[in-house]
Chain A
Amino acid sequence: MAQFNLPQNSKIEVGKYFKDKTNSKNLRKVNVYRWDPSDGKNPRVDTFEVDMDNCGPKVLDILIKIKNEIDPSVTFRRSCAHGVCGSCAMNIEGINTLACIKSHTDIKGDLNIYPLPHLRVIKDLIGDLSTLYKQYESIQPWLKVGHTGKEKEEIKQSQKDREKLDGYYECILCACCSTSCPSYWWNGDKYLGPAVLLQAYRWINDSRDNDKQERLKKVADELKLYRCHTIMNCTNSCPKGLNPAKAIGSIKKMLATS
């Protein structure tokens, strides 16, 4: 049975309030989820007053500004800062997205920033994604060609076959979709989740791959695939505008018709 409440050690408490010291008139309150593994306390939400006159347009700019100027202990992942690496995936205003491409000017009122939902928190905004990576490994995300004696030759793909991968190869595995999915929250250890299933579909759909039937067989499972109930939180959250729900639907359809 799914547990809808947070466990006792995860209940969120009211945190510190960081008052503005710059005397800026254009202030914005930013609430950030904090948890420090070293002090043994419950997670808390700290509030920062941020001077918006000297801040970039993205949510990531705010976080970097807080880390540089207010509290250097704020912890989050980031790398490329333009939506390519997927490191800064987090929950902003109730929707999972990449902090580096989310504009804070779109959001009215206080800004609420939480880590990706239903993950074990490592520190502050960083969640543990190792289960997801294991599941990703389980679908064998590499090209399988079998022993044809032509391994050293280039495998050609027509333009039409290549187009079948559009909308799937762009996935950057930021985990926004998987961690937005209630099915994945309750059955994350067994259900593969939208991100991994989209990747599975990407390999099933690749004309150069010779292992399509095996791949389909492996994923056709009551728990691994059919826990998807088309809630569509995944598609709603994908920062790259992809459609995991459609990918999962396509796998189901392939299984029903093959």
Chain B
Amino acid sequence: MEYKNNPLSPHLQIYRWHVSSLLSITHRIVGVINIIALTLICFWTMFLLLGENNYELFYFFLNSFFGKFLIIFLCWSFSFHILNEVRHLFWDLGYGFDLKIAKITGILTFFGSFILTILFYLIGKNIF
């Protein structure tokens, strides 16, 4: 029997989120954002090459409120991606599949990403 025309049972609409699935989708989204961020960094260096006048344009943009917000957000997105990728590396080595451990490392990744962001920010501000 073929059931191609039968209704599809609900999936995303009803399925409950877990720490692991939430981090997985965030990892994907953040990955895409990071690629865009890398393009931005390329433009930044390009403006450096073009000379002082052109660079000033970029400099003003990054010093605006939105620019600062963007930079801090990108610090977070890179931090998150790095930490979650480390988690993936351990999975590839065969460790950390246990439900409890996966949950703990997931929560550590999430909070760790904010701590790393603050560290990046402070290093950038030459606090240390």
B8 pairs with A120, CB closer than 8 A: yes
Is B6 on the interface with A (CB-CB < 8 A)? yes
Chain A residues numbered 101-128 whose CB sits less than 8 Å from any CB in chain B: 112, 114-122, 127-128
Stretch from B36-44, B51-59, B62-70, B90-98 that touches the partner: B90-98
Closest A residue to B8 by beta carbon equals: A10
Complex contacts, B9 vs chain A, CB 8 Å:
10, 33, 91, 114-121, 127
Contact flag A9-B15 (CB < 8 Å), given A235-B97, A252-B92: no
Complex Cα distance, B92 from A253, in Å, reads 6
Which residue of A has the minimal Cβ distance to B5? A9
B1-39 at interface with A (beta carbon < 8 Å): 3-16, 18, 20-21, 24, 28
Closest to A122 in B: B3
Q: Are B3 and A233 touching (Cβ within 8 A)? A: no
For A243, give its contact among B5, B24, B98 (CB under 8 Å): B98
CB pair A9–B7 under 8 Å, yes or no, is yes
The reply to whether B7 and A35 contact each other, CB–CB distance below 8 Å, is yes
Do the beta carbons of A180 and B15 come within 8 Å of each other? yes
Do B3 and A120 touch (CB < 8 A)? Answer: yes
Q: Does A231 contact B (CB under 8 A)?
A: yes
Confirm or deny: A142 has a beta carbon within 8 angstroms of a beta carbon on chain B: no
Bound complex: CA A119 to CA B9 (Å): 5
CB nearest to A184 among chain B residues: B11
Query: A117-B9, A121-B7, A253-B94 are known contacts. Are A235 and B99 too (CB-CB below 8 A)?
Result: yes
- Known A128-B3, A230-B91, A253-B93; judge A12-B18 contact (CB<8 A): no
Complex contacts, B98 vs chain A, CB 8 Å? 243, 246
Chain A-chain B contacts (Cβ-Cβ < 8 Å), number: 113
Within the assembled complex, what's the spacing in Å between the Cα atoms of A128 and B88? Answer: 33
Q: Are A230 and B24 in contact (CB under 8 A)?
A: yes
Within 8 A of A (CB), among B94-128: 94, 97-99, 102
Interface residue? A86 (CB, 8 A): no
CA of A236 to CA of B106 in the docked complex: distance in angstroms?
Answer: 14
* A120 engages B4 (CB within 8 Å): yes
Complex Cα distance A250/B94, Å? 6
Chain B residues with CB below 8 A from A230, complex form: 20, 24, 88, 91
Name, among A7, A33, A229, A246, the residue most crowded by chain B CB atoms within 10 Å (CB to CB): A246
Q: Name the interface residues of A204-252: CB closer than 8 Å to any CB of B.
A: 229-233, 235-236, 243, 245-246, 249-250, 252
A163 within 8 A of B: no
Q: How far is the CA of A115 from the CA of B18 in the complex (A)?
A: 19
Q: Does A170 contact B (CB under 8 A)?
A: no
- Contact check, A233 vs B21: say whether CB atoms are below 8 A apart: yes
- Greatest chain B CB density within 10 A among A35, A230, A235 is at A230
Which residues of the partner chain B approach A252 to less than 8 Å between Cβ atoms? Answer: 92
Q: Apart from A120-B4, A121-B7, A121-B9, what are 20 other A-B pairs with CB-CB below 8 Å?
A: A6-B7, A7-B7, A91-B14, A94-B16, A112-B14, A114-B9, A120-B7, A121-B3, A122-B6, A128-B3, A128-B6, A182-B21, A230-B88, A230-B91, A231-B20, A232-B21, A232-B99, A252-B92, A253-B92, A256-B92
The 3 closest A-B pairs by CB, nearest first: A94-B16, A246-B97, A10-B7
